[in-house]
């Protein structure tokens, strides 16, 4: 199983972690788009981050990470759902020229912020915002954790266009179980020795052994991950409404129907005049009754 997330914890300490490896799910996302290599790499990091965050906050719902910047890349978004499905999208400014192949995170996104939305199946939606003031995506997300969750968290993310991987370590607030005072410093220090090829090429168990063979690590059952899109006819219809009645009627008059694609999976949806009327009617309240 190459696409999975593996939770672990260090015995007798309050340090826990996650390792994610993505291959098929990542390629399935990239295959639906035709982004340049530097964008593909960043998208891989973001997919890995979305999987890590979902599992870390134990969310039963939809989590999305949106990177909104003023650089050549105006939007980068990844989303996960409770079924272990991931999807992602990037939007490039039309007139943007991308820096050469080795362009990093900050060159691509420029100034801006990251919006993290947790949308649980039950309960209230939560949104956290963090400024893009670190040189890496991992750095920005670490800032999010210290700001929003107030938990010391360290992240390592890598992607190469074919594989994506990530490692997360977190120190939990409960000190009562902690009989190992320097566990946090020691485990973070060891994680800093991780190489990109290890994060991308080793199975989670092998990576844990490579980093922590001198520690007592408890590992949990890995969870499978895959590409999946949550688009439905209903949601696509709702999104169409944001164009406004005038625009929708104009397209209908010209083309007889409205054809639109899901940005994430490119599934095509067609809406006829009657269906658009029903959507617009539902928005304005019940249609007037005829006598
Ligand atoms: Zn879709």
Residue 102: CB atoms within 10 A of its CB come to: 9
User: How much is the pLDDT for 99?
Assistant: 67
Q: CA 196, CA 236: separation in Å to the nearest integer?
A: 38
**218 and 238 within one domain:** no
- How far does residue 216's CA lie from ligand 1's centre (Å)? 42
- How far does residue 153's CA lie from ligand 1's centre (Å)? 32
- How far does residue 266's CA lie from ligand 1's centre (Å)? 6
- How far does residue 30's CA lie from ligand 1's centre (Å)? 14
- How far does residue 127's CA lie from ligand 1's centre (Å)? 23
- How far does residue 217's CA lie from ligand 1's centre (Å)? 39
- How far does residue 248's CA lie from ligand 1's centre (Å)? 21
Q: What CATH number is associated with residue 245?
A: 3.90.1280.10
Query: The whole model's pTM is what?
Result: 0.90
User: How much is the pLDDT for 101?
Assistant: 63
**69 and 197 within one domain:** yes
Q: What CATH number is associated with residue 49?
A: 3.55.30.10
User: How much is the pLDDT for 286?
Assistant: 53
User: How much is the pLDDT for 284?
Assistant: 59
Segments of the chain scoring below 50 in pLDDT: none
250 backbone dihedrals φ, ψ, rounded to 5°: -65, -45
Give the range of the structural domain holding residue 21, as residue numbers without chain letter: 4-227
Q: CA 164, CA 67: separation in Å to the nearest integer?
A: 18
Number of domains the chain contains: 2
- How far does residue 184's CA lie from ligand 1's centre (Å)? 40
- How far does residue 5's CA lie from ligand 1's centre (Å)? 23
Q: CA 189, CA 194: separation in Å to the nearest integer?
A: 10
């Amino acid at each position: 199983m190459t696409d999975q997330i593996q939770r672990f914890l260090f015995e007798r300490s309050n340090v826990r972690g996650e390792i994610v490896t993505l291959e098929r799910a990542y390629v399935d996302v990239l295959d639906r788009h035709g982004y340049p290599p530097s964008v593909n790499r960043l998208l891989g990091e973001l997919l890995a981050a979305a999987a890590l965050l979902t599992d870390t906050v134990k969310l039963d719902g939809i989590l999305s990470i949106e990177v909104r910047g003023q650089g050549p890349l105006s939007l980068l978004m990844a989303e996960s759902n409770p079924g272990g499905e991931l999807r992602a999208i990037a939007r490039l400014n039309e007139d943007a020229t991308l820096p050469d192949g080795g362009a990093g995170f900050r060159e691509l996104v420029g100034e801006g912020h990251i919006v993290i939305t947790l949308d649980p199946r039950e309960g209230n939606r939560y949104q956290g915002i963090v400024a893009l003031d670190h040189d890496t995506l991992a750095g920005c997300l670490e800032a999010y954790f210290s700001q929003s969750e107030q938990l010391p968290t360290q992240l390592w993310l890598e992607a190469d266009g074919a594989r994506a991987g990530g490692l997360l370590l977190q120190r939990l607030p409960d000190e009562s179980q902690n009989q190992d005072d320097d566990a946090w410093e020691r485990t973070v220090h060891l994680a800093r020795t991780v190489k990109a090829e290890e994060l991308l090429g080793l199975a989670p168990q092998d990576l844990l052994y490579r980093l922590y063979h001198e520690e007592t690590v408890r590992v949990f059952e890995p969870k499978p991950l895959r590409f999946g899109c949550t688009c439905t006819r209903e949601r696509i219809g709702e999104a169409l409404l944001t164009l406004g009645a005038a625009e929708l009627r104009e397209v209908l008059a010209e083309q007889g129907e409205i054809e639109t694609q899901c940005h994430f999976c490119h599934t095509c949806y067609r809406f006829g005049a009657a269906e658009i009327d029903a959507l617009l009617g539902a928005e304005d309240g019940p249609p007037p009754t005829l006598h």
